[in-house]
Amino acid sequence: MYGKPKTLEEAKELIQSMSGNNDIYAYVGNAIIYADGDKILQVINNYDISRMRMDSISEEQLNNYVMNKKPLTKCGGISIDDAEFLHLEEGKMSTACGMTIEYLQDLISTFTK
């Protein structure tokens, strides 16, 4: 599992380690806790997984990404939103981006009915 890199060098190492890999996974969990004061009335949890693939990237592509795409703000230093060499293979794009919007919308709708 990858967290957010602390330095640009760590981001480069993380991204390089994924270069050419066909099995890069994004795991996302969503939870809503419905409460009345300190009394929990309902807890709803779900999760989703997406699989991505990364092209083999050149040193130039790697340096360009790290210098221009703010890798210290992203898990693994990279996001499918702004990396033309990272591709969704299975699952939802919103999960690959870090938040399964469809599930969150479903969760919220259960409370607005």
Per-residue pLDDT tens digits for 73-90: 998 999 999 999 999 999
Q: Is the pLDDT of residue 113 over 70?
A: no
Q: Is the pLDDT of residue 28 over 90?
A: no
What does pLDDT average to over the chain?
90
Question: Per the confidence metrics, is the pTM higher than 0.85?
Answer: no
The predicted pLDDT at position 111 comes to 65
User: Average pLDDT for residues 28-43, to the nearest whole number?
Assistant: 89
Residue 41 — pLDDT band, cuts 50, 70, 90?
Answer: very high
The more confidently predicted of residues 20 and 102 is 20
Helix, strand and coil in the chain, % to nearest 5: 40, 30, 30
CA distances in angstroms from 24 to 11, 32, 45, 78, listed in the order given: 16, 27, 23, 11
The predicted pLDDT at position 61 comes to 97
Q: Is the pLDDT of residue 64 over 90?
A: yes
The single-letter code of the amino acid at 87 is H
The predicted pLDDT at position 109 comes to 75
Domain-wise residue ranges, the chain = 8-28+50-102
